[in-house]
Amino acid sequence: MSTTFQIDTSTSRANPTPAPMKRLTVPKIRARKDDGSTEEPLVMLTAYTARQAQLLDRHCDMLLVGDSLGQVIYGLPSTVPVTLEMMANHAAAVVRGSYHAVVIVDMPFGSYESSKEQAFESAARLLKESGAAAVKLEGGAQMAETVRFLIERGIPVMGHVGLTPQAVNVLGGYGARGRSDAEADKIVSDAQALDEAGAFAIVVEGVVEPIAIAVTKAVSAPTIGIGASAKCDGQVLVTDDMLGMFERVPRFVKKYADVAELIDRTVSTYAEEVRSRSFPGSDQTYQPKS
């Protein structure tokens, strides 16, 4: 039994708490795909805070501290402005709030592309400051050497091919990738290069379904689909999207709830009670002892 920091919901404080099970490991995630197939698909969701991690942890194999926090948490127009400091701070919170899932942290734009050495320095900082188990970076064949360099130095790496949000300015938007034969072939070869470099899993995002299936068959590492195919070895979504926190989401997102509407109704009720002076009531105030 391991120990982690859990949020005491009665006090909102983080306290050392015995964890009810051992945390999954990167090798166990990698081993879920055996001889080209994954019997039980892997479950991954994004998490950005300790409390969110608490709620998601027991249901997920992996929690991704995605650079999507730039848009979801900070209201930025894309993931490009996200910094290492942002990622390290949020990843540390997610690690404190979880005990079961493997925590993976995105390497933000500009923190790994210029050299293998830069990538190692950035990745080492993220893991040391957060306690996360692995990093994720975008790019295919051009990043394979960097992926190998990191893994040889003790840093597990998750790859990411297809639609790569950090390259939105080059791609010209967030449209599906792989519609041309040339692009489809490149996505498959990119995934194979990452697989050969040692990536323990590969996110396949925003590609036409036959390409996602081809990638899954072509690599030994598990593929994690997002806007790809149910035939991938696992799936990931941005948690706030699938919970219905935003009105507009990508077409590949299934809204499993409408939490935004619930929040709106709840806050409306609170505002009405404050304005009518019905809150706080006797149950929420301290009265003199008799």
Q: Which residues have a Cβ under 8 Å from the Cβ of 42 and sit 6 or more positions away?
A: 29, 32, 61, 62, 201, 222, 224, 233, 234, 235
Are the CB atoms for 64 and 136 separated by under 8 Å? Answer: yes
Residue 80, judged by CB atoms within 10 A of its CB (0-12, 13-18, 19+), counts as middle
The binding site for 3-methyl-2-oxobutanoate consists of: 67-68, 106, 136
The answer to whether 113 is a known catalytic residue is: no
The binding site consists of: 67-68, 106, 136, 138
280 three-class SS: coil
Prior bond to 165 cis, omega within 30? no
**DSSP-assigned beta bridge partners for residue 46:** 64
* Tokens coding 85: 């400091």
17 three-class SS: strand
Catalytic position from the list 205, 209, 247, 273: 205
* Tokens coding 14: 């983080």
Nearest CA to 41 out of 196, 228, 199, 257 is that of 228
Q: What DSSP line would sit under 209-254, residue for residue?
A: HHHHHHHHHH-SSPEEEESS-TTSSEEEE-HHHHTT-SS---TT--
DSSP H helical ranges for the chain? 26-31, 50-57, 69-72, 84-96, 116-130, 141-152, 168-171, 181-197, 209-218, 239-242, 259-275
Beta-strand relationship, 33-34 and 37-38: antiparallel
Q: Which residues are catalytic?
A: 205
